[in-house]
Amino acid sequence: MSATKYVFVTGGVASSLGKGIISASLAKLLQARGYSVTLQKLDPYINVDPGTLNPYEHGECYVTEDGAETDLDLGHYERFLNTPTSQANNVTTGKIYQAVIEKERRGEYLGETVQVIPHITDEIKRRIKILGADNDFDFVITEIGGTVGDIESLPYIEAVRQMRWEMGTNCLVIHLTLVPYLAAAGELKTKPTQHSVKTLLEQGVQPDIIVCRTERQLSEGMRNKIALFCNVDPTSVIESIDVETIYDVPLMMREERLDLEVLDKMRMPEGVKPELKKWEAFLFRHKNPKSNVTIGMIGKYVELKDAYKSISEAFVHAGAENQCKVKVKPIHSESLSPETVEEALAGVDGILVAPGFGSRGIEGKIEAIRFARENKIPFLGICLGMQCAVVEFGRNVLKLEDVNSTEVQSEALNPVIDIMEGQKEVTMKGGTMRLGAYPCSIVKGTKAMEIYQRDEISERHRHRYEFNNKYLDIYRNAGMIASGINQKDDLVEIVELTDHPWFVGVQFHPEFKSTVASPHPLFVHFVDAANKCKEKK
């Protein structure tokens, strides 16, 4: 097999242009041509991982099979490629410096002065090449976070410059820029792109391909102009016009021949023509719904578009599977009280209570769950959402006194959700939760079994608190059963109500495993239940 090829995707002019989606779309097309591809994200911030960041900073924290807390772009990579990512697929400046400083403390630099070049850049290059090391992948596509010109991304661009120099045609740079439309002038403008490429050139990197994000079509003349000013072939100027959904982007990039341009520049055979039949069928079902449902999504970050990214995308996949348009209605948990809940949730066909941390908004979540339980509205509780369902049941059905999770009230008389044994001694915050994939056994004859159709499943986790097993019996006797158990550690992973059409709480995060090719069964069944609830009304 020939050497692994390294493709870098940088961004210019503005952030939020969709580097992650362009990277994932290119990967999808190369995968469809028969190549093995993986995607990596380099994040220039100094946090070791985004696990300690709140969602206001960079949106959702995504969790991989092997328990890495990562940037949300890894979620896109998995949803597009349907292959898992790992610890190695997300690198931050914090991780790089941590590794270099630890090496220095071990004396491994043998008296050298430790510097950004070569020590930091060498560590960056090592992290990039790890993915290609075993020759498992034909292509490693590495997305560089931030925008060219940012001080903090300089060492990454320098590492790219060095790799290009060392690897020749085995390395390629795609630069994604914005070509804005000026309404007053009635024109698209290429100047920001020219400046952005100049900034890259000042740092020693000549992009091979320029992808132009734009609201309007680029004329032949504009493409030629960009090619001329930025030293690229006219065929290497790729238009990325705004589309209805991110899932249109691979098809648009196929149309624009982005994959062919990459293969040609890297002297790789075209492989089989990318069919993407299943992908197209998914898009058809997504765009031609036969029904629609509204799901009330309750969380404390609902005003942020990216805070629950994987949940929103899982609804897109599950909606398409049911050929049903899922409208997610964001509802702020702090806005819910016994007085407001009825009005806020009127008209929803399903209720999802989102994951989260801390006490803010908890009572609103519990109110929403009471409403779902009493009115027999389909309910899905994820992680904290499941824990709130347990608290709600303890308070309003079992009528226990002073019921809470010890995360919220450490001295609660009835701590129905309590910190896990192994977490009691943990004092460091970063990367110390119960993280990543764990097995779960499904109990026969339950809703969970109906949904999964399997005895054993594996799902991803990110939490410190758990169902308190002391309460298992009284809960079971009153109609809330544990239908999924991690047998090794004796942990409740799924709860459900026996006397309700669809009420499921999961301690894990099913949203991280939903992909276009494989929509998550919990979401698929939840949307189906919401559909049925709507028909009944």
Nearer to ligand GLN, 16 or 410 (CB): 410
Nearer to ligand GLN, 229 or 357 (CB): 357
Provide the minimum distance between the beta carbon of 21 and ligand GLN in the complex, in angstroms, as a whole number. Answer: 25
Nearer to ligand GLN, 143 or 511 (CB): 511
How many whole angstroms separate alpha carbon 365 and alpha carbon 369? 6
Instruction: Determine if 485 is a binding residue for ligand GLN (CB under 6 A).
Output: no
How many whole angstroms separate alpha carbon 194 and alpha carbon 441? 57
Nearer to ligand GLN, 197 or 353 (CB): 353
Binding mask 325-364 for ligand GLN (x = CB under 6 A): ------------------------------xxx-------
How many whole angstroms separate alpha carbon 386 and alpha carbon 363? 14
Provide the minimum distance between the beta carbon of 216 and ligand GLN in the complex, in angstroms, as a whole number. Answer: 42
> How, if at all, do strands 209-214 and 237-241 pair?
parallel
Give yes or no for a cis peptide into 44 (omega within 30° of 0): no
Nearer to ligand GLN, 52 or 194 (CB): 52
CB 204 within 8 A of CB 158: yes
Instruction: Determine if 463 is a binding residue for ligand GLN (CB under 6 A).
Output: yes
Selected catalytic residue, list 58, 175, 317, 509 = 509
Provide the minimum distance between the beta carbon of 467 and ligand GLN in the complex, in angstroms, as a whole number. Answer: 10
Provide the minimum distance between the beta carbon of 354 and ligand GLN in the complex, in angstroms, as a whole number. Answer: 8
Residues in the chain: 537
Provide the minimum distance between the beta carbon of 356 and ligand GLN in the complex, in angstroms, as a whole number. Answer: 5
Give residues 105-134 in contact with ligand GLN (rule: CB under 6 A). Answer: none
> How, if at all, do strands 434-442 and 480-486 pair?
antiparallel
* Residue selected from 465, 467, 502, 523 as contacting ligand GLN according to rule CB under 6 A: 465
Give residues 260-279 in contact with ligand GLN (rule: CB under 6 A). Answer: none
Nearer to ligand GLN, 371 or 465 (CB): 465
Short-list 117, 123, 38, 119, CA closest to 77: 38
* Residue selected from 126, 216, 464, 532 as contacting ligand GLN according to rule CB under 6 A: 464
Nearer to ligand GLN, 52 or 323 (CB): 52
Short-list 460, 433, 448, CA closest to 522: 448
Is 511 labeled as catalytic in the residue annotation?
yes
Nearer to ligand GLN, 124 or 362 (CB): 362
CB 502 within 8 A of CB 526: yes
Instruction: Determine if 205 is a binding residue for ligand GLN (CB under 6 A).
Output: no
Cα–Cα–Cα angle for 118, 150, 154, rounded to 5 degrees:
10
Q: What's the Cα-to-Cα distance from 509 to each of 41, 83, 486, 502, 524, rounded to whole Å?
A: 22, 17, 15, 18, 15
Instruction: Determine if 392 is a binding residue for ligand GLN (CB under 6 A).
Output: no
* Residue selected from 462, 513, 520, 534 as contacting ligand GLN according to rule CB under 6 A: 462
Region of 2-10, 143-151, 211-219, 460-468 interacting with ligand GLN (CB under 6 A): 460-468
Selected catalytic residue, list 60, 256, 321, 511 = 511
Instruction: Determine if 378 is a binding residue for ligand GLN (CB under 6 A).
Output: no
Instruction: Determine if 51 is a binding residue for ligand GLN (CB under 6 A).
Output: no
Coil, strand, or helix at residue 155? Answer: helix
Binding mask 394-413 for ligand GLN (x = CB under 6 A): -------------x------
Selected catalytic residue, list 212, 324, 383, 440 = 383
Give the amino acid at 526. F
Nearer to ligand GLN, 153 or 387 (CB): 387
| Residues in contact with 465: Cβ distance below 8 Å, sequence separation at least 6, in sequence order | 387, 405, 406, 407, 417, 418, 419, 420, 423
Is 256 labeled as catalytic in the residue annotation?
no
How many whole angstroms separate alpha carbon 420 and alpha carbon 150? 42
The beta-carbon contacts of 200-206 under 8 Å, at least 24 apart in sequence, are 200/10, 200/12, 200/148, 200/157, 200/173, 200/175, 203/148, 203/154, 203/157, 203/158, 203/161, 204/157, 204/158, 204/161, 205/10, 205/157, 205/160, 205/161, 205/164, 205/173, 206/173, 206/231
Within a 10 A sphere around the Cβ of 111, how many other Cβ atoms? 5
DSSP state of 64: -
How many whole angstroms separate alpha carbon 59 and alpha carbon 61? 7
Is 509 labeled as catalytic in the residue annotation?
yes
* Residue selected from 200, 331, 383, 390 as contacting ligand GLN according to rule CB under 6 A: 383
Q: Total number of residues binding ligand GLN (CB under 6 A)?
A: 10
Instruction: Determine if 384 is a binding residue for ligand GLN (CB under 6 A).
Output: yes
Provide the minimum distance between the beta carbon of 498 and ligand GLN in the complex, in angstroms, as a whole number. Answer: 24
Distance of CA 306 to the CA centre of its chain: 9
Region of 177-185, 364-372, 389-397, 457-465 interacting with ligand GLN (CB under 6 A): 457-465
Catalytic residues: 383, 509, 511
Per CB under 6 A, residues contacting ligand GLN are 355-357, 383-384, 407, 462-465
